[in-house]
A and B are shown apart, each in its own frame.
Chain A
Amino acid sequence: METVKKRMHQLGLPRIIIIAFIILIFIGAFLQGQDMKQLVSDSLVRFGMNLIFALAMMPAILSGIGLNMGLAIGIVCGLFGGLVSIEMGLTSWVGIACASLIALVIGSAVGVLYGRILNGVKGSEMLIGNYLGYAVVYLLCMFWFIAPFKNPAIIWPMGGDGVRSTVTLSGYYEHVLNNFLSFQIGGVTIPTGLFLFVFGICWIIRIFCKSKVGVTLQAAGDNPEYANSSGIHVNRCRIIGASLSTALGALGIVVYAQSYGFYSMYEAPLTMSFTPMAAVLLGGATMKKVSVWHAIIGTLLFQTMLTAALPVANMLLPDGNLSEVFRIIVSNGIILYALSQAGGER
């Protein structure tokens, strides 16, 4: 009994609630006669395509910035990279490689700027990141309207300038990663290529954490004054953290889109930063501490819940969007929980 209690405590209240909830949903799905195999397959894909966003939170938290609420800034960089690759007419592996490359380069460059701004506003990074992100997304909205893209797949179908609101990837690099080496086990499709890619990124991040820069970053994030007196340039570490986080956000949207099939333009990136934030917190991260495992576990739990809840809720209540309401409550609830745990000044 004692050990069970201890295990429960280790697991933490938020995870216990969510796991119980997921079990409940799956029982519900089973009783409703949902296609369980499809549900699991979908959950796996959703997990894979969202994992990089959650990983993008890592460098930010480690370097002491905290949760990167301005992830949308990275996402619009990725969208730009994606559009450029389509504009050039690149398809398949070349297309996605080119999109990723441009996304990473622009993302890290913009991230440096973003990090510089955040260095001036220590203590309010989350709030300011959020509003900077919003402002940048809308600035890009104006840009999308006047952007000189020529490829008919990008611009509005009725002619004229401007990017359409969803740019389809079919015929370019839709599902390139998902379908690579994918196979089925008992009716469940495993998106091998996607998993290889995202776990590869996980591995690179683990390696990074053990490198000199990674160690420096962690020291700077955990106690900036200790880091400073140890001869570490704290501000530079934070810029690296912001830059990496933004770059990963940019890469994340490319991977996300190849699985989703579309680039969603305009206001779509606005809300995208909340889900990965909630995911890492759900995985057990705090405002100061995070590991690759937190990102993996959190994304798996959160995405499974969302994916499975959707058909179940729709069958229960066809009218309202119950699973969307759950997403709002759970993701903001867990962020609130983390904020209150971090504790305020006296």
Chain B
Amino acid sequence: MAEITPVLSMKNIGKAFSGNQVLQDVSLDIMPGEIYALCGENGAGKSTLMNILFGMPVISSTGGYTGKVLIDGKEVQIKKPQEAIAYGIGMVHQEFMLIPGFTVGENIKLNREPLKNGALSRVFGKQLRNVDFEQIEKDAEASLDRLGVELDPHADVETLPVGYMQFVEIARELDKSNVKLLILDEPTAVLAESEAEIVLDIIKRLSKLGIAVLLITHRIGEIMYVADTVTILRDGLNVKTMKIADTTAGEIAELMVGRELVAVKQRDRDESENKEIAVSIKNLRVDMPGERVSGINLDVYKGEILGIGGLAGQGKLGVANGIMGIYPTFGEITVFGKPLKLNSPKSSIGAKFAFVSEDRKQQGFAPDLSIEMNMVIPAMVNHDEFFRKFGPFHQIDKKKVEETAKKYIEEFQIRCTGPKQEVKSLSGGNQQKVCIAKAILLQPDVLLVSEPTRGIDIGAKSIVLETISRINEETGVTILFTSSELGELRQVCDRIAIVSGGKVADILPPDATNEEFGLAMGGK
């Protein structure tokens, strides 16, 4: 049999962002017509790899990459996304790139409309050539036919079900001439099960047409169902490339999660069976965009640190946001036996919750106000603290505010010019410390901390993690700690609940095996 050249080979790709190695020695070869799955946790380097392939400006502006990219066996230097498209690489992004008021056909041919001369172009020149709507229809029908999808090119995209929008996106890529490799970024993430099945069938059909498909996903079930080959990335390393026929779902799960752990929390406090329940969550549903919770039951014991983990988009972030009433919430929450009024941040704070949000920029602080005001405002508003009172009139107790702020600045090593500095001029890590101080000043019974180490440097990271453990030990406050980094969850938590598909997949001890965590996260 003659040697087949791969459509795409990436050889020994490496990439560093300001000294931080995010990809190292990653290689893959995709054959014509092959379905190739690429999986890994968030931050494993999948999107960086795609950015390199598409010649995105983020890569070249940060010093380029090392290694080689070959298309059809020839080495190429891709500097712009347009060049990648010219080489026959198409990509369907996770969020839909469709114009809502346009028809299916217009969307498929968006900015690649077939043109013809008309009255205006004869007078004013080429720019005013007419769009050939009949040709659009023909082209669109042809692409949809290749996909095997029954869809009227006249239909308004807005009125289509979500799954069909995905088809339109795929049809658009197919319509671009000479597509050899189609990259699908989590194509089933927002789809219902039945729709997802159709998309997977379409993928199989594409491969029969001789088009290679690179499927980025972390749904292990899907990989097992459609893929021929799978590559698992972890921490920027090519962990393993395997033929699907030679592996199992369990193996993929273990490889995805597994890493050498620095330290797993030693559980000196024993099983929580007899402990008092601090927060009891029953059938919690939260309408948080991109992180929907669809029915969670969970008991949080007094004084423990409960970790909430899981992959992005699975709903782990929705839990804390639902408890705080940031997004529309349904279900039942009781705090130390008392029912909590839902959908009201004020009543949640009144029930002695405090929240360090994952959305630091939006929810975390008021950028133009000073460090000290950011720290004390929630306590002022909710507990009437930090005021001097003159009869019915309140005035800020400036001295007390400043003293308190100084205390926390010192304790958390916040790097700033003083308590009067505006928070927007601080670095991410220092902003996070302000947010934690703000939450602690509310003197909560239950502290909700979400992704506190996201986007901050290593030094600040360890201070933040230490602080969380320390307040838990010193004050006995119950902590609900949400994070996408399994490592840090295992480092500080007593128990870890893994959320998948908006439900609790499993509750595991920090020293459970990688395979257990991986399977829980992969939804199996």
Closest to A216 in B: B381
- Is B349 among interface residues, defined by CB-CB distance under 8 A? yes
A212-B366 contact in complex given A229-B355, A231-B345, A231-B346, C-beta closer than 8 Å:
no
CA distance A218 to B396 in the complex (A): 13
CA distance A215 to B348 in the complex (A): 21
Contact with A along B138-151 (1 / 0, CB 8 A): 00000000000000
- Is B513 among interface residues, defined by CB-CB distance under 8 A? no
- Is A327 among interface residues, defined by CB-CB distance under 8 A? no
Q: Please tell me if the beta carbons of B324 and A229 are within 8 angstroms of each other in the complex.
A: yes
Taking CB atoms, residues of chain B closer than 8 Å to A218 are 366, 369, 373
- Is A314 among interface residues, defined by CB-CB distance under 8 A? no
CB distance from A130 to the nearest CB of B (A): 25
Q: Please tell me if the beta carbons of A223 and B326 are within 8 angstroms of each other in the complex.
A: no
Taking CB atoms, residues of chain A closer than 8 Å to B348 are 231
Q: Please tell me if the beta carbons of A230 and B396 are within 8 angstroms of each other in the complex.
A: no
- Is B33 among interface residues, defined by CB-CB distance under 8 A? no
Q: Please tell me if the beta carbons of A222 and B369 are within 8 angstroms of each other in the complex.
A: yes
- Is B394 among interface residues, defined by CB-CB distance under 8 A? yes
Closest to A289 in B: B368
CA distance A212 to B377 in the complex (A): 9
Q: Please tell me if the beta carbons of A225 and B363 are within 8 angstroms of each other in the complex.
A: yes
Question: Restricting to B389-403, which residues have a CB under 8 Å from any CB of A?
Answer: 393-396
- Is B62 among interface residues, defined by CB-CB distance under 8 A? no
CA distance A229 to B387 in the complex (A): 21
Q: From the candidates A211, A229, A288, name the one contacting B357 in the complex (CB within 8 A).
A: A229
Q: From the candidates A210, A212, A222, A225, name the one contacting B368 in the complex (CB within 8 A).
A: A222
- Is A265 among interface residues, defined by CB-CB distance under 8 A? no
Taking CB atoms, residues of chain A closer than 8 Å to B326 are 228-229
Q: From the candidates A212, A222, A226, A228, name the one contacting B364 in the complex (CB within 8 A).
A: A226
Q: From the candidates A212, A222, A288, name the one contacting B381 in the complex (CB within 8 A).
A: A212
A228-B381 contact in complex given A222-B369, A289-B368, C-beta closer than 8 Å:
no
CB distance from A291 to the nearest CB of B (A): 12
CB distance from B424 to the nearest CB of A (A): 10
| Secondary structure dominating the interface of A | helix
CB distance from A10 to the nearest CB of B (A): 15
- Is B382 among interface residues, defined by CB-CB distance under 8 A? yes
Taking CB atoms, residues of chain B closer than 8 Å to A232 are 346, 381
Q: Please tell me if the beta carbons of B367 and A207 are within 8 angstroms of each other in the complex.
A: no
CA distance A229 to B396 in the complex (A): 21
Contact with B along A201-223 (1 / 0, CB 8 A): 00000010011100110110011
Taking CB atoms, residues of chain B closer than 8 Å to A37 are none
- Is B365 among interface residues, defined by CB-CB distance under 8 A? yes
- Is B380 among interface residues, defined by CB-CB distance under 8 A? yes
Report the interface size for chain A: residues with CB under 8 A from the other chain.
21
- Is B362 among interface residues, defined by CB-CB distance under 8 A? yes
Report the interface size for chain B: residues with CB under 8 A from the other chain.
31
- Is A227 among interface residues, defined by CB-CB distance under 8 A? yes
- Is A150 among interface residues, defined by CB-CB distance under 8 A? no
Q: Please tell me if the beta carbons of B377 and A230 are within 8 angstroms of each other in the complex.
A: yes
Q: Please tell me if the beta carbons of A222 and B367 are within 8 angstroms of each other in the complex.
A: yes
Taking CB atoms, residues of chain B closer than 8 Å to A289 are 368
Q: Please tell me if the beta carbons of A215 and B362 are within 8 angstroms of each other in the complex.
A: no
- Is B509 among interface residues, defined by CB-CB distance under 8 A? no
Q: Please tell me if the beta carbons of A226 and B363 are within 8 angstroms of each other in the complex.
A: yes
- Is B250 among interface residues, defined by CB-CB distance under 8 A? no
- Is B114 among interface residues, defined by CB-CB distance under 8 A? no
Question: Restricting to A216-250, which residues have a CB under 8 Å from any CB of B?
Answer: 216, 218-219, 222-223, 225-233
Q: Please tell me if the beta carbons of A231 and B349 are within 8 angstroms of each other in the complex.
A: yes
Q: Please tell me if the beta carbons of A231 and B393 are within 8 angstroms of each other in the complex.
A: no
- Is B95 among interface residues, defined by CB-CB distance under 8 A? no
CA distance A233 to B349 in the complex (A): 13
Taking CB atoms, residues of chain A closer than 8 Å to B369 are 218-219, 222
Taking CB atoms, residues of chain B closer than 8 Å to A211 are 393-396
Taking CB atoms, residues of chain A closer than 8 Å to B378 are 230-231
CB distance from B327 to the nearest CB of A (A): 11
Q: From the candidates B324, B359, B395, B438, name the one contacting A207 in the complex (CB within 8 A).
A: B395
Taking CB atoms, residues of chain B closer than 8 Å to A230 are 345, 349, 377-378, 381-382, 438
- Is B384 among interface residues, defined by CB-CB distance under 8 A? yes
CA distance A164 to B17 in the complex (A): 73
Taking CB atoms, residues of chain A closer than 8 Å to B345 are 228-231
Q: Please tell me if the beta carbons of A210 and B396 are within 8 angstroms of each other in the complex.
A: yes
CA distance A307 to B367 in the complex (A): 38
Q: From the candidates B363, B382, B387, name the one contacting A231 in the complex (CB within 8 A).
A: B382
Contact with A along B342-375 (1 / 0, CB 8 A): 0001101110000101010011111111000100
CA distance A212 to B376 in the complex (A): 12
Q: Please tell me if the beta carbons of A219 and B395 are within 8 angstroms of each other in the complex.
A: no
CA distance A121 to B382 in the complex (A): 28
Q: Please tell me if the beta carbons of B363 and A288 are within 8 angstroms of each other in the complex.
A: no
CA distance A290 to B364 in the complex (A): 22
CA distance A233 to B343 in the complex (A): 12
- Please give me the 10 A-B residue pairs with the lowest Cβ-Cβ distance, nearest first: A222-B366, A231-B346, A230-B378, A223-B366, A231-B349, A212-B394, A210-B396, A225-B362, A229-B363, A222-B368
Residues of B within 8 A of A (CB): 324, 326, 345-346, 348-350, 355, 357, 359, 362-369, 373, 377-378, 380-382, 384, 387, 393-396, 438
Give me 9 A-to-B residue pairs in the complex whose CB atoms sit less than 8 angstroms apart, sorted by A's number. A211-B395, A215-B377, A215-B396, A216-B377, A218-B369, A219-B381, A222-B367, A230-B382, A231-B378
6 additional contacts, CB 8 Å, given A211-B396, A215-B381, A229-B363?
A215-B377, A215-B380, A218-B369, A228-B345, A230-B381, A231-B382
